[in-house]
Amino acid sequence: MKLLDSILGNATGIFTVVIVLIAVIFNYFDDPDPVKYNSMAEDTKTLEENFRQQNKSCFILGASGETGRMLLQDLLGRNIFSKITLIGRRTLTFEDKANENLVQEVVDFEKLEDYAASFQGHDVGYCCLGTTKAKAGTEGFIRVDHDYVLKSAELAKAGGCAEFHLESSRGADKNSNFLYLKVKGQVEAEIEALGFDRFAIYRPGVLLVDRQESRPAEWLARKFFGAVSAVCSTAMSIPIQAVAKAMASNTLLQPEQKTEILENKDIASLGKGAGQ
């Protein structure tokens, strides 16, 4: 028994040292320190009230997913939009009565052209659509993360939407040799070309969340990066609540340029300060 305790103790010590070393390495390659979001918390209430007076409406794509669900709750809590529309493949049910006034548009993403009316009349659009190759296969992944997202953005732009917020991924690059990052980068570039008055791209790292349909590899990755995050802030991971808060909070700010890219550390800074 003493031998077993000794082995377990040594293993725990080694694991701790490894986590610390990896955290130091990640911190070295971390994103540059965010500049414009540090004072957000002090001005949040004023910004929310000013935005609320503009009587704007928005839509959310992917409200049934992890980020979309969190984003919806954050926006409802702030009460900054006069109307929130959920666009998805099925009607969502909610226990909270605060959600009863939501507008829900059920669409067939394979025939989005037939549902152009669902994308009309919104001031701001949020897109949290996404899947994986493991879940949908290569073709399914491209169809969801590229085709559905791009077509939705096109219809939103044609319908008068001025502002589009896209949840993408850290490392997104249209020239990447990795399919996932290449597709994410391609759709970013193609939406930018549509010419929204404002286009915000969010590139989070590994999303720290207990998914309802968690896969073993994802579970292991979240536990690993969760342990690293406990040691220090890292560019590689982020709590999903912080992503949702950042998307909502950034909406209140005036961008310096039409297209803005928020890397993981920007998202963490903005998400941490929001609503505090």
Catalytic residues: 180, 184
- Please state the separation of Cα 129 from the chain's center in Å: 9
Residues 201, 238 contacting (CB under 8 angstroms): no
CA distance 261 to 189: 12
CA distance 276 to 265: 18
Return the closest-CA partner of residue 209 out of 66, 71, 48, 29.
66
Residues 6 or more apart from 142 whose CB is under 8 A from it?
A: 179, 183
Sign of the torsion formed by the C-alpha atoms of 165, 169, 172 and 177: negative
